Structure 1
Amino acid sequence: MSNKFNASSLTEYCKSYARKVAGDFFAHHTVISGQELLKLSPVSQVNLFVISSLSDKWRSDAERFRSPFFDFEHPDVRQAMQVFMNTVSQHISVRRENLEPLLADATRRTLILLFDPRHYFDEALRNQPDFSLTADAAHLLTRYTQINKFVPAALEERMKGKSVVYVNQALNWLDEILMQRGRELEKPEKYIPLFSEKVLLDPGMLLRKSSYDSLPAQPLPAATKSFFDTEVENTVIPAAPLSPPPVNGSGTTVNGTPPDPDFTVKTHFLSDTGSAEEPVAPSMQPSQATAHLSDISTLEVNPVVNEESNGPVTVGETFYRAPIESISKSISLNQKFMFINQLFNGNAASYNEAIEELNRATSYDQARDLVSYRYAAQYLWDMSSDEVAMLIDILKRRFA
């Protein structure tokens, strides 16, 4: 477990996220298929990790099917087994009670990959069987990694011509890759709104304080092929916009750029491996590379004094005390997701209607009555909650 995280907060968030995502889907379905899994979460990496878990299960089931009483190496048997397993893979059908644990684990892995990529890849390598990394395992790691994909791709590139290496060699490569290309690691900030579409993601609650302060579809193939053998086109997550750019009829974005080919995943699991070469003797010493993130400093405005602390008021405090002309425009994106999820039961339309009505109020007393006697009763709000207090503060600024 990465020591950057508050373990209990990470576990609770992952369970809540899995519960919300599964609940939204299974409110209208009884089972979910493989193609539906690929579009289940707004965060494509979460979906890929779920598929990865299913593929591991698929492979292990194929191995358990073998019996010492029959020749499973006979060409006819091998061919029949592959056709059978590939056909089974085309009929993925998962119920909610079986999906939620996979979703929670996929969410956990994605968050660690985002906020502590060094630990994620280190752990992925150390968990390889027999402390050895095979070419097939390296290829699978690349295939199911969308975020910071360049790391496993570089590892796989260094394995060319080698069928297997000891993990200590792979860890040395990992150190070199991160030291040379560490600046290419993706920023977690661009994924926070995507997670918050379902459940508000607050890094300040998720991470330990020291870590937080240092932060800067296509159709099914023929039944003779495996679901895990098909090409899966994943949605490209833009770095700057908070929602993906629209796509026109020609299949390109409005600005004419094609989808990012790096998010194409190909899978094949029943492949033969070559003979292992003699690897270098292993070492269990941990790898030495560390991630460095920029510090965040707080600006202070000297002439203004905070009445509660008798200290200078920060820029943020000055901003949040200033009067506003529009309630909706003063609510940040993270606040919006929090209000929708915590106050309006995840219903964005109800949130929009309420904000518009509050914005039309002619006085603070009228707006406060709407909150106290209408919305609180309708949505069973806890008037002492932080979310309601935050909304009330915004109303005070609106009618200041």
Structure 2
Amino acid sequence: MSNKFNSSSLTEYCKSYARKVAGEFFAHHTVISGQELLKLSAVSQVNLFVISSLSEKWRSDAERFRSPYFDFEHPDVRQAMQVFMNTVSQHISVRRDHLEPLLAEATRRTLVLLFDPRYYFDDILRNQSDFSLSAETAHQLTRYTQINKFVPAAIEERMKGKSSVYVNQALNWLDEILMQRGRELEKPDKYIPLFSEKVLLDPAVLLRKASYEHVPQPTVFTPNKSFFDTDIETTVPPVPLAAPSSNGFEPVVNLAPPDSESSVRPLFLDDSGPAAEPAAPSMQPSQMPTHTSDVSTLEVSPKTEEPAGPVTIGETFYRAPIESISKSISLNQKFMFINQLFNGSAASYNEAIEQLDHATSYEQAHDLVTNRYSAQYSWDMNSDEVGMLVEILKRRFA
């Protein structure tokens, strides 16, 4: 949870808002349709987040139809599944007891997006499975974001057709976007009256004191399309909704052409190349000058010309190639890595070492260290522990 909020106050407000909005609608209705959901709240972002939740459930339900006993990749089956799921999506029908939790969660997400956008996007990125951001996920994030939409749109643009990127890279882009375009972030002021129409929204109650001091005071039915592909009429440019997952059947995409305000241009330069390798701790002992009985005749050679000296048996062992990372790590090193690099989690350590052991090259293993684990576990790349692990990787792929 964002530390800007008073957690209990935020939870209570979201429940109260959802109860009020749902109560007014269901006083005259038994269920709510997709078209009615789009107009339920005066804050369009809340409605979008509700639709987003339904879209995720719709996509997961589609996957449940898959079975090892039938050919779901056959063209006839794929087509039939697409028509069926699209038709189902056009007949959304939600009862109050199912809607209120979705509405409360959508309200919470909207308030966090408004008052702490940096935390909102950072939290989404860090919670991606396998610590990687797929192109499909980035696209869905842009689809369902209306407030501060330029942030996910710029991340999606930055991916430039890549199927996925490490979350560490996406987080770097997020920092750059907010640094360069932070002034474009929407102010909460214009949304506070919209929320207050139903339940009074007082930032002084919702936010912690230190945070509050910094806060500035109809869809057309098309049978052959999914409801989640239709455009939404709001006070901002239309936002296209989700398409069926390509894993289950062919997606149907109907993206509205961007206007001058929502068009996104590349913001950053291309990658300059792989990250520089962290400096590994030296295994070479310091060379001391050889003293003679006649101190006056001692000659001190320049440091750059200092002889390396003989290599000891211990150094030869520690530089020798190894076949397995896990087997080459001593018990003391293992405990040190678990405690210092993996937050005390032996399971996380074992999973990471197994993935590193299955890497096909030093570059691939080093990429996992610098672009995945370092961000996932907040490593200091100049620490002795990371340097020791990198040294083991060098021996593994020597």
Give the TM-score band, short-chain normalised.
0.5 to 0.7
Aligned pairs for 1:15-34 within 5 A? 15-34=15-34
Task: Give the 3-state SS of the residue equivalent to 2:240 in structure 1.
Answer: strand
Residue matched to 2:164: 164
Residue matched to 1:71: 71
- Residue 15 of structure 1 contacts residue 104 of structure 1 at CA under 8 Å; is this kept in 2? yes
Deviation at 1:272, TM superposition (A): 5.8
| Cα distance change on mapping 1:121 and 1:77 into 2, 3 Å | same
Residue matched to 2:144: 144
Write the distance in 1 (CA, Å) between the matches of 2:239 and 2:174: 23
Write the distance in 2 (CA, Å) between the matches of 1:266 and 1:141: 10
With normalisation by structure 1, the TM-score equals: 0.62
Q: State the one-letter code of the partner of 2:114.
A: L
Q: Deviations over 1:330-373 (max 9, x none)?
A: xxxxxxxxxxxxxxxxxxxxxxxxxxxxxxxxxxxxxxxxxxxx
| Cα distance change on mapping 1:284 and 1:119 into 2, 3 Å | farther
| Residues 1:285 and 2:375 aligned together | yes
| Cα distance change on mapping 1:71 and 1:272 into 2, 3 Å | closer
Larger radius of gyration: 2
Structure 1 unaligned blocks of 5 or more? 237-259, 289-400
- Residue 172 of structure 1 contacts residue 287 of structure 1 at CA under 8 Å; is this kept in 2? no
Residue matched to 2:181: 181
Residue matched to 1:304: none
Aligned pairs for 1:1-80 within 5 A? 1-80=1-80
Aligned equivalent of 1:268, options 243, 254, 269: 243
Task: Give the 3-state SS of the residue equivalent to 2:31 in structure 1.
Answer: coil
Task: Give the 3-state SS of the residue equivalent to 1:233 in structure 2.
Answer: coil
Write the distance in 2 (CA, Å) between the matches of 1:41 and 1:117: 21
- Residue 89 of structure 1 contacts residue 228 of structure 1 at CA under 8 Å; is this kept in 2? yes
Aligned pairs for 1:193-212 within 5 A? 193-212=193-212
Write the distance in 2 (CA, Å) between the matches of 1:133 and 1:175: 16
Write the distance in 2 (CA, Å) between the matches of 1:272 and 1:161: 18
Deviation at 1:116, TM superposition (A): 0.3
Q: State the one-letter code of the partner of 1:97.
A: D
**Would you say how many aligned residue pairs link Structure 1 and Structure 2?**
259
Q: State the one-letter code of the partner of 1:218.
A: T
- Residue 2 of structure 2 contacts residue 112 of structure 2 at CA under 8 Å; is this kept in 1? yes
Q: State the one-letter code of the partner of 1:169.
A: Q
- Residue 82 of structure 1 contacts residue 270 of structure 1 at CA under 8 Å; is this kept in 2? no
Q: Deviations over 1:300-320 (max 9, x none)?
A: xxxxxxxxxxxxxxxxxxxxx
Write the distance in 2 (CA, Å) between the matches of 1:272 and 1:159: 21
Write the distance in 2 (CA, Å) between the matches of 1:271 and 1:39: 29
Residue matched to 1:389: none
Write the distance in 2 (CA, Å) between the matches of 1:84 and 1:226: 9
Percent sequence identity is 77
- Residue 46 of structure 2 contacts residue 107 of structure 2 at CA under 8 Å; is this kept in 1? yes
Deviation at 1:161, TM superposition (A): 2.2
- Residue 41 of structure 2 contacts residue 47 of structure 2 at CA under 8 Å; is this kept in 1? yes
Write the distance in 2 (CA, Å) between the matches of 1:69 and 1:265: 35
| Residues 1:107 and 2:197 aligned together | no
Task: Give the 3-state SS of the residue equivalent to 1:165 in structure 2.
Answer: strand
Task: Give the 3-state SS of the residue equivalent to 1:232 in structure 2.
Answer: coil
Deviation at 1:42, TM superposition (A): 0.4
Deviation at 1:264, TM superposition (A): 2.8
Deviation at 1:175, TM superposition (A): 0.6
Q: CA RMSD in A?
A: 2.1
| Cα distance change on mapping 1:178 and 1:287 into 2, 3 Å | farther
Q: State the one-letter code of the partner of 2:219.
A: Q
Task: Give the 3-state SS of the residue equivalent to 1:133 in structure 2.
Answer: strand
Q: State the one-letter code of the partner of 1:136.
A: E
Task: Give the 3-state SS of the residue equivalent to 1:201 in structure 2.
Answer: coil
- Residue 133 of structure 2 contacts residue 164 of structure 2 at CA under 8 Å; is this kept in 1? yes
With normalisation by structure 2, the TM-score equals: 0.62
Write the distance in 2 (CA, Å) between the matches of 1:3 and 1:33: 36
Runs of 4+ more than 4 Å apart? none
